[in-house]
Structure 1
Amino acid sequence: MEEPRSIVAGYDGSAEAAAAIHWAAQQADLRDRPLHVVHVSIWPLLTHKLGPVPGVADSGLERSAQAILEEGVSRAQAAAPGLDVQATLLHGLPASYLAEISAGQEMVVVGSRGLGGFLGLLVGSVSLELAATASCPVAVIRPDLHPGGPVVVAVDASGSPTALADACALASAWQVKLTIVHVHHVPAGYAQQNGLDAEAAAGEVLHAALHRARTLAPYVQMEGRVLTDASVPHAILKASDDARMLVVGTQGHGFLRQTIGSTAHAVLHHARGPVLISRRGSGAHAP
């Protein structure tokens, strides 16, 4: 019998990771999925002195790493009592391990910033790398959530079917409004030719996305908006100011698989709230 797909949450003890664990636990509970809490200790890359300090009980870097993992599990259990929570302690580079673990899973969840302090050189690197390498959707959680806001999904000319499916799954789970946006890109100072044709094409993209969304989430209230802007990320970010979750796709494919596209990259850097980067790899499943 195939094991249920898990929601994987990275935890490093930071405030951002705590928010991510809380969000991941609630999402796992809503979807009836197990939660897999993972802490990846980088200390073995920096020192071989991981053991306890002689004569000092419950000390040492390895014990500290185990304590961080236990704390993550406790936070998850407090956020969703009765949830099936698994725990794994690994040693190495967090993004690499989390990307490997993500294969075939429901979602991987991380905080918007990592590690901090001296290791602040790595701030943001885990979420950025995962967004480019994971084999499932990547949720990057920030503490400033908007629990009453809608799910906002940006679709491009392709209709962004993966992002749309993930957004519908979130809106259905939360039973909140879904806002679908498509940006009609008009570069600044550019005298656009065939303007009416381009506007009509943008409207058709949005109409098709709404039609598909109503099939995927028939009981969810939804609206569609065509946005005109010289900057696609600016338009998306402005439209998602009060979003409970902003969902965007990624353009990485083929030899460019480990890229996420300029729009997703800008959104990750500048969004005020949580962002879901929709990805699929081999063995991945649509929601």
Structure 2
Amino acid sequence: MRRVFVALAGSLVLIGAALFYIVKERQDVTMAAPAAERLALTSGQLLFRDTDSGQVAAVSLTDPGGARRVSGVRCDRFAVARQTVAQQTAVCLIAQPGVLPPVTDILILDGNLAVRHRETLPGVPSRARVSPDGKLVAWTLFVTGDSYAATGFSTRAGLFEVDTGRLVKTIEELAVFVDDRRYFASDVNYWGITFADGNRFYASLGSKGKTYLIEADYPHYRGKAIRDNVECPSLSPDGTRIAFKKKVADGVWRLAVLDLATLRETELTESRSVDDQALWQDDSTILYGLDSAVWAVPADGTGSPRLLVRNAASPAVT
């Protein structure tokens, strides 16, 4: 009994030390952060997570190497709606420090990055997206493991309807068809949602060692597989192509673009492994985070990768 008590006490000490380290690390980052400015979702901005401070920052798309403005909003993952005519919406995923098992705060933000709504769900932040009309928000959280390279990782992808307040904690109940047959499996994972509009989205489905690109009809809550080996899809602004990462080896991915009409695949000239959900700057340029920087590469397979912003991750474009 004494040995059990000593072991339990030792475990509590280790957990307490880990929690102290996480909280202190977050406090040190906050104290080192530059003075915050007010940011608004105006057009022509490249927004991103400043990796030095953890806060949302912005530069001009026409001068990404220029001075950055850093907000007071801290996120682990960030996304905005590309085209918000009637409704400006952003989403911020932030892991709660010192909480075991981990949980994530999902903050729905307005055009001034003020919090409109908050949800708290189990897991670690991974991906985030907002529909073009600003009415739907999506996220992916790791609930087992912390990397797509991990064996046996598990994710949970969810949705939030901004106008109605309806929360879909997971899309695992989506009726999905593979090879025109309803697919059932106990190991289904979804991740990397990208929106066409408020009625249609794409996502990756992983099961039994394979990964599929799913096209989903949200109002009817059903989807179909249209291609395999497609992870973290990102729909182009014109709605004709999907940028994605394709697995070429364990823990190694390459960026490519899929033409949805022909299913023709074009590999991009980025030769390094990219574990990110790419973002379209426009119909011809792909953005992505790699090695604590935001990079750009042509979407047609020509040209070379170009460094846009250092000390940056999770790019978003307004």
The answer to whether TM tops 0.5 is no
Tell me the TM-score normalised to structure 2 length: 0.22
Task: Say which structure, 1 or 2, has more relative contact order (CA 8 Å, 6+ apart).
Answer: 1
Whose helix fraction is larger, Structure 1's or Structure 2's? 1
The answer to which structure has the higher strand fraction is 2
